[in-house]
Amino acid sequence: MTQNMNILSYTIDDFQKQKPFSSFLSGIAGKMGIPLWAFYVNRGQLISSFGIRDKNSAIMEFFPANNAYHYVSRIGFRTFIKKDGKVYEFFKEKNFNQKLNVRQDQVSIEEDQKELGIKVKVTYFTLPNEPIAGLVRKVEVDSYKEKSDIEVIDGLAQIIPSGIDYGSLKSVSNLMQSWMANIHEKDYVFYKLRASTDDGAEVNEVHDGNFYLTKSTVEPLLISDYKLIFDEDTSLETPYLFEQNSIEQLSKIKQVHVNQVPCAMSGFSFENAQKVSFVSMIGFVSDKNVLDKMTHLFTLEYFSNKEIENEQIHSELVSAIETKTSQPVFDAYLKQCYLDNVLRGGQPLILKTAHGPVAYHLYSRKHGDLERDYNFFSIDPAFYSQGNGNFRDVLQNRRNDLFFQPEIGDFNIYQFSSLIQADGYNPLSIGGVTFKYLGDIDQAPEILTDILKNEFTPGMVATKLFQNELEIDDSLDEIIKHSEVVVKAAFGEGYWEDHFTYLYDLIDSYLSIYPDQLENLMFQLKIPFFESPVYVLPRNEKYVLRKDGQIRQYGAVRHLHDQKDRWLTNHEGLIETNLFGKLLTLALNKFGHLDPYGIGLSYEGNKPGWNDAMNGVPGLFGSGVSETIELQKIVNLLAKIVKEHPSQKVILLKSTEKLANELKHIDYQNAFNSWDERMNALEAYRKSLFDEQTVIEHQTHHYDLVIEIMQKNLTEALQKAKAIDSIYPTYLTYEVEDYEQILNKNSKPVIGEYGLPVVKVKKFTVHHLPSFLEAPARYLKSLSSKSEAKAIYDEIRKTELYDKKLQFYQTSTSLDAFSNEIGRIRAFTPGWLERESNFLHMTYKYLLGMLKSGLYEEFYEEIKTNYTCFMDPKVYGRSPIENSSFLVTSSNPDAKKHGQGFVSRLSGSTAELLSMWRYMFLGDHLFTLDQGQLVFELSPKLSKSFFKDRIVEVRLFNHTTIVYHLVDDIDTYDPNAYIEKMTLHKIDEVCEVEGSKVQGKWTKDIRNGQVFKINVYIRGGK
């Protein structure tokens, strides 16, 4: 494996003989493009599946990774070259001299058949900024020994006509052949169904379709009938007819266009050729007429320009995190992580609405791919494309948005705090935002009238304007200016306990840039309540007696199937609170269901926390200390705000106000009794939420007592947790020691909704699971002192949480002593998926905790073996500048997999890496208030080894270049290091500042993007 990080590329030699891996093209098509998803594996000619929107619109059939490795070499792209009457297939596994090159914007392969004297290079990228979706494939043939007469057949061995969904492909693909039609036009082949396939009374014509075209210096023979190449070889192994016939002869054979799965291939005859190339494109178009209008554009020059444009889109995107250190592989790694973070969280585009600017996140999608075959991803095939996502994933991947685009302001906080319900839970599924037009529809362009009557997206408006050949940007801006944003979400699959924990990070990021806006954020921002048609049941309906005599918590939520997701309203309209009120609502709900020992937050809503594979823990009355740690951060923030702003107005539901009062008057001396009283109050509160709600207003100091009570109890909770495990336990479970059955009026057992008798628990005993990395990672990041962090760090290094062979961390110590009842994690092999593997997201969260808690020397030592960019690529098994979800640890029985990365890229690890970048290169809070005055201060935590010629450069807010000059040879985190001076550069003015702080008008100039460069001079010997 070789690497060249100057253009963010990575080359793998003999790629088909290396460890298998899967990945994907970014699917970014630009603001005015139609995105296409494309997955690849390091086998065959790479591309194993691609299509539009989701798996139901595959152009090349979707297979999970384990099958894709098998099938890609047969039904994928193929290249046959005939020279001197003999046919050679390139990119067969047994061939040699093959290379794979991975870039952020494209992927390519090449093979040199030295005996033949021919080298072939294939490059893939997606078509940017066009009204059609396309996968572009450029093939370059170099007959470097001599000029030769060669014939080539190249293309896709199987293509799926548009309109066949994923289920039909897997279950009735033979039947589906009956609808397939391949229409050969002059410049392309169009693959469609002749009519809709539903077995119903209404049958519709089909106008959309997939297409295939090829451009070269010679006229290609377009082939859709695979038998023209392979004859009756249904294995698609041997091109018998090509072996026996020239391209000219093949062109005279009639092709069959029906009742079989077609191919998308081209035949060429090149005479006296040395270097030849051709470009093919396969894609989707909603209407054949759109394609007909564009065919004249498709030339070799056109595709060359599109390749450059695609590269520019990606380069401009990742330039926001431009960083120059002594470690070019690290600099490239930052850009790749930024790109992948965008793919899950979206790239914010600022739109000005009737109520102020909002962030419209382009390019986002749910993390589904060949290895995440369980996730149903969706990428909107439209202009201004945005996709679906999960609450946790999108929220955490937007954590650092403001450091790249501060114009977003408080929008992310508004969006996600709106989704916190009155019961403290939140929906899982996040949709892209839409807009509601508030202007006079009669004054809007007539062609937009039907669109503007309902909720719309910018892509819908842009498409209609484009179709009518009207100007887009100004017209769209004018429409959005008279519209309001609509946040979209749906309950999804459950209530995870950890989702609320990431909201604090958004607030922390905001206040590190806008500390002068705290009062507006907390008390002026109006926030609604999302309301899912699903609620958590009281204990007397979910604590059940199993047939084996064990007591468990099953069936914890109830779905109201006659209701839909909605916003909380009353007879006066939408109910809104302010952010302080929403955070207080959240805190009261979470505090209310602390577990029976008052330590962890109970997993009482049927789902666990971050580690989804602990799905059995809720049934064991489980709770999470990680969530307690995060709750204390929120409560501490509320306490700080009450102290500093005691007279501000808080808006709260009257029902929530009653809950706060009840929690204030509980006697917390006895853990079980206080738990029972808390849960009684919480269950009564939840029941009251079915009634019409009204709000009440108080000043912040009105809540100081209940906040103080929560602070005290949460502090004690963590003290109890540490007494159980010195590095803090992550999971607790509870065993029922005493209970009584709940009987009806006839003295018969009451049968709960789960189908089992329900009970009232009278006594619990706590147990803790083995040590996991999550709780200490969150504690270090949030609450620990440096000395405590060092003690925890040293202790962890002594446990199985540290893989001594591979010198990185894993999710937990051994789970062998526990039953499968804790969840599917126990059924997994050690070192695989979430079980005892290096789950990169959590490892990076732990590294971030080390950095934030002041363990700088240890941090820089650990990243040498924990950052993938510094790992041995032959062990890691893929490009080291691309993250994986997990790496196999040495506890796995398959030694060949030790250290190998699986499940590519779209991981929470990118958010943690960007947070580490923030603290390494910028410090904690960029902006603070000093006696009411805004102050800008840089406090980098950089090892001197990261400086090249004593200089490091980093980009802030996507417009300001910060250049650190290391005047003395010292780590910037050394207690003796200090910033001697800074020079600030605007276009027409330069300012020199002594020390590390900037005050006055220059502070806002930095935040507003008027300062394009800051030179920072660091010395030692303070």
Parallel, antiparallel or unpaired: strands 275-285 and 209-216: antiparallel
Q: What pLDDT does residue 782 have?
A: 85
Torsion of CA 828, 832, 835, 838, to 10 degrees: 180
If you average pLDDT over every residue of the chain, what do you get? 96
Complete DSSP assignment for 151-163: EEEEEES--PPTT
The b/e string for 66-81 (b: 16+ C-beta within 10 A; e otherwise) is: eebbebbbebbbbbbb
Taking alpha carbons only, the member of 628, 696, 692 closest to residue 658 is 696
Q: Determine contact, residues 466/448, Cβ cutoff 8 Å.
A: no
Q: What pLDDT does residue 1 have?
A: 39
CA angle 117, 107, 146 (to 5 degrees): 15
Q: Determine contact, residues 523/583, Cβ cutoff 8 Å.
A: no
CA pair distance 342, 398, nearest whole angstrom: 8
Q: Determine contact, residues 883/907, Cβ cutoff 8 Å.
A: yes
> Which CA distances in Å does 918 have to 134, 956, 957?
36, 9, 11
Parallel, antiparallel or unpaired: strands 86-90 and 98-103: unpaired
Placement of tokens 């999608």 in the chain: 365
Q: What pLDDT does residue 6 have?
A: 44
> Which CA distances in Å does 469 have to 128, 284, 649?
19, 21, 51
Q: What pLDDT does residue 341 have?
A: 97
Q: Determine contact, residues 390/502, Cβ cutoff 8 Å.
A: no
Residue 407: CA atoms inside 13 Å, Cβ hemisphere, count?
16
Backbone phi, psi, residue 136, to 5°: -100, 135
Quick one: how far is CA 280 from the chain centroid?
31
Residue 683 has pLDDT above 50, yes or no: yes
Residues 715-734 have pLDDT tens digits of: 999 999 999 999 999 999 99
Residue 200 banded pLDDT, cuts 50, 70, 90? confident
Residue 2 has pLDDT above 50, yes or no: no
> Looking at per-residue confidence, does 49 or 1 come out higher?
49
Q: If one looks up domain 2-287+298-317 in CATH, what number appears?
A: 2.70.98.40
N residues, the chain: 1022
Complete DSSP assignment for 465-533: HHHTT---HHHHHHHHHTEEEE--EE-TT-B-TTGGGGHHHHHHHHHHH-GGGHHIIIII-EEE-EE-S
Task: Please state the rounded mean pLDDT for residues 497-517.
Answer: 98
Q: What pLDDT does residue 693 have?
A: 98
Residues 889-925 have pLDDT tens digits of: 999 999 999 999 999 999 999 999 999 999 999 999 9
Q: Please give the sequence-ordered ranges of beta strands (E in DSSP) within 654-743, or none if there are none.
A: 695-699, 731-741
Diameter of the chain measured on Cα atoms: 97
Backbone phi, psi, residue 272, to 5°: 50, 45
Residue 177 banded pLDDT, cuts 50, 70, 90? very high
- Cross-strand partners of 962: 954, 1014
Residues 60-110 have pLDDT tens digits of: 999 999 999 999 999 999 999 999 999 999 999 999 999 999 999 999 999
Residue 7 has pLDDT above 80, yes or no: no
* 176: its two tokens: 């589906």
Residue 219 has pLDDT above 50, yes or no: yes
Placement of tokens 């985190």 in the chain: 973
Percentage of the chain exceeding pLDDT 90: 94
CA angle 28, 29, 34 (to 5 degrees): 120
Residues 776-824 have pLDDT tens digits of: 999 999 878 999 999 999 999 999 999 999 999 999 999 999 999 999 9
Q: Determine contact, residues 630/497, Cβ cutoff 8 Å.
A: no
Task: Please state the rounded mean pLDDT for residues 325-350.
Answer: 97
Residue 1022 banded pLDDT, cuts 50, 70, 90? low
Q: Determine contact, residues 159/263, Cβ cutoff 8 Å.
A: yes
Taking alpha carbons only, the member of 229, 237, 232, 273 closest to residue 255 is 229
Task: Please state the rounded mean pLDDT for residues 924-950.
Answer: 97
Task: Please state the rounded mean pLDDT for residues 989-996.
Answer: 97
* 507: its two tokens: 């607030």
Taking alpha carbons only, the member of 351, 362, 359, 414 closest to residue 389 is 362
CA pair distance 1003, 1018, nearest whole angstrom: 20
CA pair distance 538, 585, nearest whole angstrom: 19
Parallel, antiparallel or unpaired: strands 623-624 and 731-741: antiparallel
Q: What pLDDT does residue 376 have?
A: 84
Percentage of the chain exceeding pLDDT 70: 99
Task: Please state the rounded mean pLDDT for residues 501-519.
Answer: 98
DSSP H helices, 355-431, are 391-397, 411-418
* 492: its two tokens: 């999804």
Quick one: how far is CA 505 from the chain centroid?
16
Residue 594 banded pLDDT, cuts 50, 70, 90? very high
The reported pTM is 0.96
